[in-house]
Each structure stands twice: as C-alpha cells, then as structure tokens.
Amino acid sequence: MVLPVSVRCDRTPAWAALREHFNQTGRHFDLRQAFASDAQRFDRFSQQAPHVFADLSKNLIDASTEALLLELASQCSLSAQRDAMFAGEPINVTEQRQVMHHLLRQPRSATPDQPCARELAAVHDALEAMLAYAEQVRADPVITDVVNIGIGGSDLGPCMAVRALEGLRIAGKRFHFISNVDGHELGSLLLGLRPRSTLFLIASKTFTTAETMTNAHSARRWFEAQLGPGALALLPKHFVALTTNVEAAAQFGITTTFGFWDWIGGRYSLMSAIGLPLAISIGQSAWRELLAGAHAMDEHFRTAPMERNLPVRLGLLDVWYRNFHGMDSRCIAPYHSLLSRWPAYLQQLEMESNGKRVDRQGQALPFETSPVIWGEPGTNGQHAFFQMLHQGTCIIPVEFVAVRQETHGLGGHHEKLLSHVLAQARALMLGRSDAGGHRHFPGNRPSTMLLLEWLDPASLGALIALQEHRVFTSGAIWGINSFDQWGVELGKVMASDLEPRLTTGNVDGLDGSTAGLLARMRR
Ligand code: F6P
C-alpha cells in the first residue's frame, strides 16, 4: 500500500458545501427546535460503541451536517489514511516512523502474513516479560512503594489509569508519580520513603528527557546516601527502566529494562512497557482486559461503517466546531473522581498531536487545528468555571463522561452525581428564558455525553482508544502529522543554554526581559 495522496481539506467541494451549510442553517441551528421537530433525534445521534455509549444528540448538528462531514472524510481519504496506519505505513512522515500503538492490544495472530507480524511477535514477547515482572513485584511484600519517574506520555497515561482503576489496586502498595523537575515534588516524596521497600521505575522513551534524568539521578543519589556501601548491590533490584534506549539505561546502571519501539509515540504508549506501574497495580488479568477493551475499539474504528463509527463521528464533530463554528476550546468534564487526571491526559493526546500549524509537507495552513483542551471533574467544575459555560460570551462544547455504576457503596451519592451531570447537559442546552438580565441563560450550548457501565479496565481501554482515533480523525482531515511534536524542542534547547547562565550570571546575547529576570532569579 502507498500513502494516500491527501487533498487539502479546505480545497474540497465538501468543505465549500459545509461552509454554505453553516451560513445557511448551521449558524442558526437551535437544539431545542431540533428536538421538538424530531422525536427520533436521540436515537439518530446516539450510539453504542464497544464499552462506550455516546449521546451526540445535544450537538449543533443535523442529518445534513453529518452527511456533509462524512463527505468531507471521504474527499480527504480518511479511510485510506486510517488503513495506512493499520497497515504499518510510515505515516509519521517527519520522523519516517510507523504508528502502531494499536499493535500493543492486538491479540497474537496465527497468520504470519498479516501486516507487521514481526512487530506483533515482539509486542507479545515484551508483554509476557513485563507481566511476569509485574506479578513478581505484586508478590513481593517487601516492596511497598512504586515510584514512576517520567513526564509527558511517560507519566500522564499511567498516572491517569492507576488512579482510574484505584479500586483494583493491590493491597499493601502505594503508587507515586514524579514528573516535574521541581525538586519540591521528589524531595517531599523521598521524606516518606524507605529505600529497601521502594521500587523506582524510570520511564522515558528516549532516556534523555532533562526532567526525568534529573529526577532519576536525584533518586539514585538518595538511595545511595541512605544505604551507604550496600547500595550498589541493591541498585539493580530497586531501579528499573521503561525505555526504547536500552543502552542509556545500562549506562545509568540499570540492568532490568522493559523496552518498546520508536513506532509507539510517547502519548500513545500507556499500553506498552510504560504501563508497568498500572500492570503492577491491577495485575495481569485486569491488564489484559484493558488491552481487550482498547482492541475492541480499534476494530470498531477499523471496520465500522463511517456513519456509525464513533471515533470518526467525534473527530468530524471536532472539525465542525473548530473550523466552521470557530470554537477554540473543548471542556472535558468527567463525572467520576477517579478520572481526575482524564482532562490532563487528553490535553497531551490532543494538543501535542494536533497543535500544528503546517501540513505534512510543511506548508502553513490557513485554517485552525487543535482546540484548547481543558477541564476538571464534575461536580467541582460546576462551582468554578461552569458559570462561564452557561452565561459567558463564548460557546464551549463540553464532553461529559459518566459511569452508570459506582463502587463506593455510599448510599445516595451516585444518584446525586448522575442527576448533576444530566442537569448540566440539559441546562446548557435548554437555557432559561423566563427571567431576564443576570438570570437569563441563552442555552443552545452543545455537549456530548460518553456513558460507561463501569469504570473497569475494558471500558477504560476502550475510552482511551476512542480518544486516540478521534484525534487521528481530525488530524487526518486537517492533513497534519499528528505523531510528531517539534513544538516542544525550542524551549528545551533554550533551557539548556540558560541553566549555566543562572550560575555564571552571563546575559550576553539575551533579550532584555530574559536578562533582567535572570539577574533577579540568580541566588
Ligand atoms: O513533551 C515532549 C515529549 O517528547 C513528549 O512527547 C513525551 O511524551 C515526553 O516528552 C517524555 O519523553 P520521554 O518519554 O522520552 O522522556
């Protein structure tokens, strides 16, 4: 298969038709009227996908909007682009890499001629080794604290998921996530740790990231200082690496490494060795359920007809809001405390993937790409920023996540929680016109509801894969490379130039503001 030649989306007839549709009816679309005139609207715009029920009916779309968006997908060769990813084409063109996080959850296949059979075999060998080690740690009563040192994709995914699946956490072990180079994080954690009962997981795809390396070296110095001459012999048991850079890990003095490959992007790496803290926390059978849930969503994305393909529908909705309504942010509101890191996880997934201003050939794009992703769990968000969502001057689509079943067993809470999420979505849509001035709610504010039966490993896996493929969809329409992240490089380079200047005080060649601030910051 060759990479599909993509036509720029804003030059397609479908884009022009969408623009026309927006001008004619889209900009005046009214959700209340839409429900009043179509008794089937909920059924038409909601669907069950693997482990996730989605209600899209409170969005500013009608059947013709979706039909035109699907036409746009077709004219932008979305399915060919998707198939190229699943076939192992090097769709990460700026780094000449394949994009194969889907292989991490693909069952071991009996057919050696399937695409990427060699890589799939490597995935399963690595998985077996990692799970065997996870079970060994779970069975080791001496280890009470597992400290993951990593940042970005080497932190956000496992941190989010360990918290989300807290109910399955093995008894007797605590999990900590250290990401920031700010020593207040590691420093305060170390005060409560004992070296002989602590396992440090140094998680870094590249094993060069400054924050992670600084924290890893400080952790090792602490370990050595605590244990004195005996530390060297114990180091291999207490420091493990999760990385593609086995040599750098060995140079650090680590002998146990769980590897992965350059065709797994950092923000797509939770289900690789980067997920080891989660595997230790929930154990191998729950881990396999997570993979199965994600695989079910992969298959849905790969095979479901476009009009009933949930990641495709969500990704196209994102394009509709971003490029036609001009909405520049999306609020993520999980109504489940254990999903507290879900907004942060999605921030990296979407903004690092699609926060790009050029197409795959490096040509500047004349239209908007990634929105700002932000949010907080409900109901806390209701008492902070929902005021603006209901009555502010800009319209921000909200993506709610609700879970039907609870596991805390406290009577009355869950009904209240669910009534709040229903009420917020309903109030955003209906508004309130029986009062004027400060009490008036304009309504017609869009939202999506993602509903899980349980917050269990399979549902979480499916939810993650859903988001990955939805980001793929909008990125493919925009014609950008969703799998590189050059935008994080410049700051890194400048930080390494500035660090010694904080000691020497040399401000040669710096701009006036940086020079002035640096002089004030020096100690
Ligand atoms: O923030 C940039 C980035 O490269 C992310 O893409 C990545 O997830 C993170 O840094 C951490 O990188 P590594 O896993 O190589 O330490």
87 assigned to some structural domain: no
Clarify whether residues 249 and 340 are in a common domain. no
Q: In the structure encoding, which two tokens stand for residue 268, read together? A: 């797509």
Clarify whether residues 477 and 493 are in a common domain. no
pLDDT for the residue 221: 98
Atom of ligand 1 nearest to the CA of 153: 8
Q: Quick one: three-class SS letters along 340-404?
A: CCHHHHHHHHHHHHHCCCECCCCCECCCCCCCEEEECCCCHHHHCCHHHHHHCCCCCCEEEEEEC
Q: How far does residue 204's CA lie from ligand 1's centre (Å)?
A: 7
Clarify whether residues 458 and 414 are in a common domain. yes
**Catalytic-labelled residue, pool 20, 128, 247, 383:** 383
Average pLDDT over residues 259-282: 98
Q: How far apart are CA 200 and CA 194, in angstroms?
A: 12
Q: How many CA atoms lie within 13 A of 340 on its CB side?
A: 7
Clarify whether residues 234 and 111 are in a common domain. yes
2 assigned to some structural domain: no
Q: How far does residue 155's CA lie from ligand 1's centre (Å)?
A: 9
Closest CA to 2 of 68, 53, 77, 73: 77
Average pLDDT over residues 295-306: 98
Q: How far apart are CA 315 and CA 69, in angstroms?
A: 10
85 assigned to some structural domain: no
492 annotated active-site: yes
Residue 18 · residue 68 · CB < 8 Å: yes
Clarify whether residues 39 and 134 are in a common domain. no
DSSP assignment letter at 106: S
Q: How confident is the model at residue 523 (pLDDT cuts 50, 70, 90)?
A: confident
Atom of ligand 1 nearest to the CA of 274: 14
**Catalytic-labelled residue, pool 289, 352, 376, 468:** 352
DSSP 356-373: -SB-TTSPBPSS--PPEE
Residue 318 vs residue 523, higher pLDDT: 318
DSSP 443-467: ----EEEEEES---HHHHHHHHHHH
Clarify whether residues 254 and 366 are in a common domain. no
pLDDT digits (tens, 9 = 90+) for 344-373: 999 999 999 999 999 999 999 999 999 999
19 assigned to some structural domain: yes
For strands 372-375 and 398-403, give the pairing.
unpaired
pLDDT digits (tens, 9 = 90+) for 112-154: 677 899 999 999 999 999 999 999 999 999 999 999 999 999 9
Q: How far is CA 245 from CA 47, 78, 251, 261, in A?
A: 42, 33, 10, 9
For strands 198-203 and 239-243, give the pairing.
parallel
CATH number at residue 71: 3.40.50.10490
Clarify whether residues 329 and 202 are in a common domain. no
pLDDT digits (tens, 9 = 90+) for 468-479: 999 999 999 999
Total number of domains constituting the chain? 3
Domain that includes residue 172, residue range: 101-279
294 assigned to some structural domain: no
DSSP 76-89: TTHHHHHHHHHTT-
297 assigned to some structural domain: no
Q: How confident is the model at residue 110 (pLDDT cuts 50, 70, 90)?
A: low
Clarify whether residues 309 and 376 are in a common domain. yes
- Average pLDDT across the chain, whole number: 97
Q: How far apart are CA 177 and CA 278, in angstroms?
A: 11
Clarify whether residues 341 and 402 are in a common domain. yes
Q: How far does residue 154's CA lie from ligand 1's centre (Å)?
A: 7
Average pLDDT over residues 1-19: 85
Atom of ligand 1 nearest to the CA of 212: 16
Residue 433 · residue 275 · CB < 8 Å: no
383 annotated active-site: yes
**Catalytic-labelled residue, pool 28, 217, 413, 492:** 492
Torsion of Cα atoms, 22 then 317 then 29 then 42, to 10°: 150
pLDDT digits (tens, 9 = 90+) for 417-461: 999 999 999 999 999 998 889 999 999 999 999 999 999 999 999
Average pLDDT over residues 319-347: 98
Helix-strand-coil split of the chain, %, nearest 5: 55, 10, 35
Tell which one of 262, 488, 490, 493 to mutate to probe ligand 1, the residue whose CB is within 8 A of the most ligand atoms: 488
Q: How far apart are CA 191 and CA 362, in angstroms?
A: 48
Residue 1 has pLDDT above 60, yes or no: no
Residue 257 phi, psi (nearest 5): -125, 135
352 annotated active-site: yes
pLDDT digits (tens, 9 = 90+) for 218-235: 999 999 999 999 999 999
402 assigned to some structural domain: yes
Q: How far apart are CA 216 and CA 203, in angstroms?
A: 9
Q: Which of 279, 314, 334 is the last residue of a domain?
A: 279
214 assigned to some structural domain: yes
Clarify whether residues 181 and 253 are in a common domain. yes
Which residues line ligand 1 at a C-beta cut-off of 6 Å? 151-154, 204-206, 209, 212, 266-267, 352, 485, 488
Clarify whether residues 137 and 182 are in a common domain. yes
pLDDT for the residue 6: 73
Clarify whether residues 474 and 508 are in a common domain. no
